[in-house]
Amino acid sequence: MTALAHDTRPRRKRSNPALRALKSPLSGRIAFPLVCLAVWLVAIEIVTAVWPFAVDVLPRPSQVFSFMWDELTGDTLAPYNLYETFGISLKRLGIGMAIAMGIGTVIGLAMGLSKSVNAFFNDWVVAILAMPNLAWALFCSLAFGFGDVGPIVTVVLTGIPFVIINVREGVRNAPTDLYDMARAFGVSRSDSIRHVLLPSLMPFMFAAGRYAFALGWKGLVVAEVFGGEDGAGWTIKFWYDAHRAHGVIGYALFFVLFALLFEKFLLDRLSAYFFRWRPAVSSTDVVEELFEGPPSAATTASAVSDTTTAAQRSLTQVTAGPRSEREGGDDTRRTHDG
Protein backbone atom coordinates (compact mmCIF):
# COMPACT_ATOMS: atom_id res chain seq x y z
CA MET A 1 0.00 0.00 0.00
CA THR A 2 1.49 3.29 -1.02
CA ALA A 3 1.84 6.12 1.40
CA LEU A 4 -0.72 8.86 1.33
CA ALA A 5 0.20 12.03 -0.51
CA HIS A 6 -0.57 14.10 2.51
CA ASP A 7 -1.26 13.35 6.12
CA THR A 8 -4.99 13.13 6.72
CA ARG A 9 -4.82 12.18 10.36
CA PRO A 10 -6.87 14.43 12.59
CA ARG A 11 -4.50 17.04 13.83
CA ARG A 12 -4.26 17.73 17.54
CA LYS A 13 -4.72 21.36 18.36
CA ARG A 14 -1.48 22.59 19.80
CA SER A 15 -2.65 23.68 23.24
CA ASN A 16 -1.92 27.15 24.36
CA PRO A 17 0.86 26.90 26.98
CA ALA A 18 -0.67 29.74 28.93
CA LEU A 19 -3.99 27.95 29.09
CA ARG A 20 -2.27 24.76 30.18
CA ALA A 21 -0.48 26.61 32.94
CA LEU A 22 -3.74 28.07 34.14
CA LYS A 23 -5.30 24.64 34.45
CA SER A 24 -2.41 23.10 36.34
CA PRO A 25 -2.58 22.30 40.04
CA LEU A 26 0.16 24.83 40.62
CA SER A 27 -2.07 27.65 39.53
CA GLY A 28 -4.70 26.30 41.87
CA ARG A 29 -2.20 26.41 44.64
CA ILE A 30 -1.35 30.01 43.91
CA ALA A 31 -5.01 30.88 43.59
CA PHE A 32 -5.72 29.73 47.13
CA PRO A 33 -4.00 32.48 49.10
CA LEU A 34 -5.37 35.02 46.68
CA VAL A 35 -8.89 33.75 47.20
CA CYS A 36 -8.35 33.77 50.95
CA LEU A 37 -7.20 37.36 50.79
CA ALA A 38 -10.21 38.32 48.74
CA VAL A 39 -12.60 36.57 51.10
CA TRP A 40 -10.93 38.24 54.04
CA LEU A 41 -11.37 41.73 52.60
CA VAL A 42 -14.95 41.05 51.60
CA ALA A 43 -15.70 39.59 55.03
CA ILE A 44 -14.43 42.72 56.71
CA GLU A 45 -16.69 44.91 54.61
CA ILE A 46 -19.74 42.74 55.13
CA VAL A 47 -19.27 42.23 58.83
CA THR A 48 -18.59 45.83 59.73
CA ALA A 49 -21.49 46.98 57.61
CA VAL A 50 -24.14 44.42 58.42
CA TRP A 51 -23.30 43.01 61.85
CA PRO A 52 -21.14 45.55 63.62
CA PHE A 53 -21.45 43.77 66.93
CA ALA A 54 -20.80 40.29 65.75
CA VAL A 55 -17.08 40.53 66.22
CA ASP A 56 -14.87 42.24 68.69
CA VAL A 57 -12.07 42.96 66.34
CA LEU A 58 -11.39 41.94 62.77
CA PRO A 59 -8.03 43.10 61.58
CA ARG A 60 -7.33 44.14 58.01
CA PRO A 61 -4.80 42.23 55.94
CA SER A 62 -2.65 45.32 55.68
CA GLN A 63 -2.43 45.52 59.46
CA VAL A 64 -1.41 41.92 59.72
CA PHE A 65 1.19 42.14 56.99
CA SER A 66 2.76 45.29 58.30
CA PHE A 67 2.90 43.69 61.72
CA MET A 68 4.63 40.66 60.25
CA TRP A 69 7.07 42.83 58.37
CA ASP A 70 7.93 44.70 61.55
CA GLU A 71 8.52 41.45 63.33
CA LEU A 72 10.73 40.15 60.57
CA THR A 73 12.88 43.25 60.73
CA GLY A 74 13.21 42.92 64.45
CA ASP A 75 10.99 45.83 65.36
CA THR A 76 8.54 44.62 67.96
CA LEU A 77 6.57 45.72 70.98
CA ALA A 78 6.95 42.32 72.58
CA PRO A 79 9.79 41.73 75.03
CA TYR A 80 11.56 39.39 72.60
CA ASN A 81 11.75 39.56 68.88
CA LEU A 82 10.64 36.92 66.43
CA TYR A 83 13.97 35.17 66.13
CA GLU A 84 14.71 35.04 69.82
CA THR A 85 11.21 33.78 70.47
CA PHE A 86 11.33 30.91 68.03
CA GLY A 87 14.87 30.19 69.08
CA ILE A 88 13.82 29.70 72.68
CA SER A 89 10.95 27.47 71.67
CA LEU A 90 13.12 25.44 69.35
CA LYS A 91 15.67 24.88 72.05
CA ARG A 92 13.01 23.52 74.37
CA LEU A 93 11.59 21.37 71.61
CA GLY A 94 15.01 19.94 70.86
CA ILE A 95 15.71 19.00 74.44
CA GLY A 96 12.26 17.53 74.92
CA MET A 97 12.55 15.54 71.72
CA ALA A 98 15.94 14.16 72.68
CA ILE A 99 14.58 12.97 76.02
CA ALA A 100 11.44 11.53 74.45
CA MET A 101 13.44 9.68 71.81
CA GLY A 102 15.93 8.40 74.33
CA ILE A 103 13.52 7.05 76.92
CA GLY A 104 10.92 6.11 74.34
CA THR A 105 13.38 4.01 72.34
CA VAL A 106 14.46 2.06 75.39
CA ILE A 107 10.91 1.34 76.48
CA GLY A 108 9.80 0.60 72.92
CA LEU A 109 12.62 -1.88 72.41
CA ALA A 110 11.82 -3.58 75.69
CA MET A 111 8.13 -3.76 74.87
CA GLY A 112 8.86 -5.18 71.45
CA LEU A 113 11.19 -7.84 72.75
CA SER A 114 9.26 -8.99 75.80
CA LYS A 115 5.60 -9.81 76.14
CA SER A 116 5.70 -9.19 79.87
CA VAL A 117 7.12 -5.72 79.53
CA ASN A 118 4.53 -5.01 76.89
CA ALA A 119 1.73 -6.11 79.19
CA PHE A 120 3.15 -3.92 81.94
CA PHE A 121 3.31 -0.70 79.97
CA ASN A 122 0.76 -1.04 77.22
CA ASP A 123 -2.39 0.34 78.81
CA TRP A 124 -0.44 3.30 80.14
CA VAL A 125 1.04 4.10 76.79
CA VAL A 126 -2.47 4.09 75.36
CA ALA A 127 -3.63 6.27 78.22
CA ILE A 128 -0.89 8.85 77.72
CA LEU A 129 -1.47 8.72 74.00
CA ALA A 130 -5.09 9.76 74.27
CA MET A 131 -4.54 12.45 76.86
CA PRO A 132 -4.97 15.92 75.42
CA ASN A 133 -1.81 17.95 75.50
CA LEU A 134 -3.85 20.66 77.16
CA ALA A 135 -3.95 18.57 80.28
CA TRP A 136 -0.20 18.08 80.29
CA ALA A 137 0.37 21.74 79.56
CA LEU A 138 -1.87 22.97 82.33
CA PHE A 139 -0.47 20.52 84.79
CA CYS A 140 3.14 21.23 83.93
CA SER A 141 2.67 24.95 84.01
CA LEU A 142 1.19 24.75 87.44
CA ALA A 143 3.69 22.24 88.69
CA PHE A 144 6.85 23.73 87.27
CA GLY A 145 5.98 27.38 87.05
CA PHE A 146 7.76 29.56 84.60
CA GLY A 147 10.87 28.65 82.71
CA ASP A 148 12.00 25.80 80.57
CA VAL A 149 11.05 22.75 82.60
CA GLY A 150 7.29 22.90 82.12
CA PRO A 151 7.36 23.13 78.33
CA ILE A 152 10.10 20.52 78.07
CA VAL A 153 8.20 18.04 80.20
CA THR A 154 5.11 18.68 78.11
CA VAL A 155 7.05 17.92 74.96
CA VAL A 156 8.31 14.71 76.49
CA LEU A 157 4.87 13.60 77.61
CA THR A 158 3.19 14.35 74.30
CA GLY A 159 5.86 12.72 72.19
CA ILE A 160 6.88 9.68 74.18
CA PRO A 161 3.92 7.40 73.48
CA PHE A 162 4.40 7.76 69.74
CA VAL A 163 8.10 7.05 70.00
CA ILE A 164 7.39 3.96 72.06
CA ILE A 165 4.79 2.67 69.65
CA ASN A 166 6.92 3.25 66.59
CA VAL A 167 10.00 1.63 68.03
CA ARG A 168 7.93 -1.32 69.19
CA GLU A 169 6.59 -1.71 65.68
CA GLY A 170 10.16 -1.58 64.42
CA VAL A 171 11.12 -4.46 66.62
CA ARG A 172 8.05 -6.43 65.64
CA ASN A 173 8.83 -5.88 61.98
CA ALA A 174 12.39 -7.08 62.30
CA PRO A 175 13.53 -8.69 59.08
CA THR A 176 13.92 -12.26 60.26
CA ASP A 177 14.99 -13.44 56.84
CA LEU A 178 18.02 -11.18 57.00
CA TYR A 179 18.86 -12.39 60.49
CA ASP A 180 18.62 -15.99 59.28
CA MET A 181 20.91 -15.12 56.43
CA ALA A 182 23.45 -13.64 58.82
CA ARG A 183 23.21 -16.67 61.04
CA ALA A 184 23.64 -19.05 58.09
CA PHE A 185 26.86 -17.28 57.20
CA GLY A 186 28.06 -17.28 60.78
CA VAL A 187 28.19 -13.51 61.10
CA SER A 188 29.11 -12.28 64.56
CA ARG A 189 26.44 -10.96 66.86
CA SER A 190 27.84 -7.46 67.01
CA ASP A 191 28.04 -7.26 63.25
CA SER A 192 24.45 -8.44 62.99
CA ILE A 193 23.31 -5.74 65.36
CA ARG A 194 25.27 -3.05 63.55
CA HIS A 195 24.36 -4.01 60.02
CA VAL A 196 20.96 -5.66 60.32
CA LEU A 197 19.10 -4.60 63.46
CA LEU A 198 19.93 -0.91 63.66
CA PRO A 199 19.40 -0.07 59.99
CA SER A 200 16.11 -1.97 60.01
CA LEU A 201 14.94 0.20 62.89
CA MET A 202 15.86 3.44 61.18
CA PRO A 203 12.57 4.03 59.33
CA PHE A 204 10.65 3.53 62.54
CA MET A 205 12.97 5.76 64.50
CA PHE A 206 12.56 8.36 61.84
CA ALA A 207 8.79 8.17 62.00
CA ALA A 208 9.10 8.42 65.76
CA GLY A 209 11.20 11.53 65.36
CA ARG A 210 8.65 13.08 63.06
CA TYR A 211 5.89 12.49 65.57
CA ALA A 212 7.98 13.71 68.44
CA PHE A 213 8.58 16.87 66.47
CA ALA A 214 5.07 17.56 65.21
CA LEU A 215 3.20 16.66 68.35
CA GLY A 216 5.89 17.96 70.63
CA TRP A 217 5.65 21.31 68.90
CA LYS A 218 1.91 21.48 69.45
CA GLY A 219 2.26 20.53 73.07
CA LEU A 220 5.08 23.00 73.56
CA VAL A 221 3.03 25.88 72.29
CA VAL A 222 0.15 25.08 74.62
CA ALA A 223 2.53 24.76 77.53
CA GLU A 224 4.09 28.11 76.77
CA VAL A 225 0.69 29.73 76.55
CA PHE A 226 -0.32 28.65 80.00
CA GLY A 227 2.89 28.76 81.90
CA GLY A 228 5.69 30.67 80.37
CA GLU A 229 7.31 34.01 80.23
CA ASP A 230 8.84 33.63 76.79
CA GLY A 231 8.72 31.50 73.72
CA ALA A 232 6.42 31.26 70.74
CA GLY A 233 3.33 30.18 72.63
CA TRP A 234 3.74 32.82 75.29
CA THR A 235 4.23 35.51 72.67
CA ILE A 236 1.04 34.69 70.86
CA LYS A 237 -0.73 34.86 74.21
CA PHE A 238 0.97 38.18 74.80
CA TRP A 239 -0.65 39.61 71.70
CA TYR A 240 -3.93 38.01 72.68
CA ASP A 241 -3.85 39.61 76.09
CA ALA A 242 -2.88 42.91 74.52
CA HIS A 243 -5.98 42.60 72.40
CA ARG A 244 -4.02 42.99 69.22
CA ALA A 245 -5.79 40.73 66.77
CA HIS A 246 -3.28 41.51 64.02
CA GLY A 247 -0.58 40.32 66.37
CA VAL A 248 -2.34 37.05 67.05
CA ILE A 249 -3.05 36.35 63.43
CA GLY A 250 0.37 37.50 62.33
CA TYR A 251 2.09 35.22 64.77
CA ALA A 252 -0.21 32.39 63.80
CA LEU A 253 0.96 32.81 60.23
CA PHE A 254 4.53 32.67 61.43
CA PHE A 255 3.68 29.40 63.12
CA VAL A 256 2.37 27.97 59.92
CA LEU A 257 5.40 29.11 57.96
CA PHE A 258 7.73 27.71 60.56
CA ALA A 259 6.10 24.30 60.60
CA LEU A 260 6.04 24.09 56.81
CA LEU A 261 9.64 25.19 56.41
CA PHE A 262 10.88 22.80 59.02
CA GLU A 263 9.03 19.80 57.65
CA LYS A 264 9.88 20.53 54.08
CA PHE A 265 13.49 21.48 54.31
CA LEU A 266 15.02 19.91 57.32
CA LEU A 267 13.12 16.70 57.83
CA ASP A 268 12.71 15.80 54.20
CA ARG A 269 16.38 16.42 53.50
CA LEU A 270 17.33 14.20 56.40
CA SER A 271 14.97 11.55 55.19
CA ALA A 272 16.44 11.62 51.70
CA TYR A 273 19.93 11.22 53.12
CA PHE A 274 19.17 8.43 55.54
CA PHE A 275 17.15 6.48 53.09
CA ARG A 276 19.08 7.04 49.92
CA TRP A 277 19.20 3.30 49.42
CA ARG A 278 15.45 3.20 49.03
CA PRO A 279 14.40 2.87 45.41
CA ALA A 280 10.99 4.53 45.85
CA VAL A 281 11.88 7.78 47.62
CA SER A 282 10.82 10.70 45.49
CA SER A 283 8.64 13.59 46.57
CA THR A 284 9.64 15.82 49.42
CA ASP A 285 6.31 17.27 50.31
CA VAL A 286 4.26 15.42 52.89
CA VAL A 287 0.81 16.36 51.73
CA GLU A 288 1.76 16.03 48.08
CA GLU A 289 2.62 12.41 48.68
CA LEU A 290 -0.73 11.90 50.30
CA PHE A 291 -2.65 12.98 47.29
CA GLU A 292 -0.52 11.75 44.49
CA GLY A 293 0.61 8.44 45.86
CA PRO A 294 -1.45 5.29 46.05
CA PRO A 295 -3.43 4.80 49.24
CA SER A 296 -1.20 4.24 52.17
CA ALA A 297 -1.16 2.08 55.20
CA ALA A 298 -2.76 5.03 56.96
CA THR A 299 -6.24 4.55 55.69
CA THR A 300 -6.16 0.80 55.72
CA ALA A 301 -5.66 1.31 59.42
CA SER A 302 -9.34 0.58 59.80
CA ALA A 303 -8.41 -3.05 59.46
CA VAL A 304 -6.64 -2.69 62.76
CA SER A 305 -8.87 -2.22 65.74
CA ASP A 306 -6.10 -1.24 68.06
CA THR A 307 -6.42 2.46 68.76
CA THR A 308 -2.74 2.94 69.21
CA THR A 309 -1.51 1.58 65.94
CA ALA A 310 -4.46 3.14 64.20
CA ALA A 311 -3.64 6.45 65.79
CA GLN A 312 -0.11 6.04 64.71
CA ARG A 313 -1.06 5.26 61.18
CA SER A 314 -3.72 7.87 60.89
CA LEU A 315 -1.55 10.60 62.24
CA THR A 316 1.14 9.26 59.99
CA GLN A 317 -0.87 10.67 57.15
CA VAL A 318 -0.42 14.11 58.41
CA THR A 319 3.01 14.24 59.88
CA ALA A 320 5.06 11.43 58.48
CA GLY A 321 7.40 11.35 55.60
CA PRO A 322 7.16 9.73 52.19
CA ARG A 323 4.99 6.68 51.86
CA SER A 324 7.91 4.36 51.50
CA GLU A 325 9.28 5.44 54.80
CA ARG A 326 5.93 4.96 56.40
CA GLU A 327 5.89 1.33 55.51
CA GLY A 328 8.83 0.85 57.77
CA GLY A 329 11.36 -1.70 56.74
CA ASP A 330 9.05 -3.30 54.26
CA ASP A 331 10.98 -4.34 51.22
CA THR A 332 7.99 -4.91 49.03
CA ARG A 333 10.06 -4.61 45.91
CA ARG A 334 12.04 -7.69 46.54
CA THR A 335 10.78 -11.17 46.03
CA HIS A 336 10.16 -13.06 49.21
CA ASP A 337 10.93 -16.59 50.11
CA GLY A 338 8.03 -18.93 49.53
Partner 1 sequence: MAEIKVRKLHKEFGAGEDRVVALEDVTLDISGHVFVSIVGASGCGKSTLLNILSGIETPTHGQVQITQDGRPAVKGYVFQAARLLPWRTVMDNLLFVQKDRSEETRARCQRYLEMVQLGDKGKKYPGELSGGMQQRVGIARAFSTEPDVLFMDEPFSHLDAITARSLRAELQDMWQETRKTVVFVTHDVGEAVELSNRILVFAKGGRMADDIDVSLPFPRDVADADVALTKANVFKTFENIGALAVS
Partner 2 sequence: MTTVAASPPTTDGPRVSEEDRVRAARRRDRIRTIFWRLAGYAFFLGLWEFASGRLMDETLLPGPVDVFRTFGDLWASGKVPGAFADTLTRIGIGFAIAFVIGAAVGILMQNRWLSGFFRDAVTIGVTTPGLIWALITAIIFGNRPWGPLIAIVLTTFALISVNVAEGIKALPKDLIDMAKAFGVGVVRRNRQIVVPHLAPYLFTGVRFGFSIAWKVTVLTEVFASSSGIGFEMRTATQLFRMDEFLTWILAFYVFALFLEKVVLEVIERRFFAWRDTIKS
* In contact, 249 and 64? CB cutoff 8 Å: yes
* In contact, 104 and 163? CB cutoff 8 Å: yes
185 binds, among partner 2, partner 1, none (CB under 5 to 8 A by kind): partner 1
Q: Which stretch binds partner 1 (CB under 8 A): 42-50, 91-99, 106-114, 177-185?
A: 177-185
User: What dihedral angle (degrees, nearest 10) is formed by the CA atoms of 44, 236, 89, 107?
Assistant: -90
Calculate the alpha carbon distances from 229 to 114, 197, 208, 226 in Å: 43, 44, 29, 9
Should residue 123 be labelled a site residue for partner 1 when binding is judged by CB under 8 A?
no
Closest separation between CB of residue 187 and partner 1, Å?
A: 6
261 to 320, contacts with partner 2 by CB under 8 A? 263, 286-288, 290-291, 294-296, 298-303, 305, 307, 310-311, 314-315, 317-319
* In contact, 228 and 234? CB cutoff 8 Å: yes
Closest separation between CB of residue 124 and partner 1, Å?
A: 33
Should residue 207 be labelled a site residue for partner 1 when binding is judged by CB under 8 A?
no
- Complete DSSP assignment for 281-333: -----HHHHHHHSPP-TTGGGGG---HHHHHHHHHHHHH---HHHHTTT--TT
Q: Which stretch binds partner 1 (CB under 8 A): 80-88, 93-101, 311-319, 327-335?
A: 327-335
Q: Which stretch binds partner 1 (CB under 8 A): 121-129, 144-152, 174-182, 240-248?
A: 174-182
* DSSP 8-state secondary structure symbol assigned to residue 72: H
* In contact, 69 and 82? CB cutoff 8 Å: no
Should residue 29 be labelled a site residue for partner 2 when binding is judged by CB under 8 A?
yes
The site map against partner 1 for 269-288 (x = CB under 8 A) is -------xxxx---------
**Interacting residues toward partner 1 by CB under 8 A:** 177-178, 180-187, 191, 195-196, 199, 202, 276-279, 331, 333-338
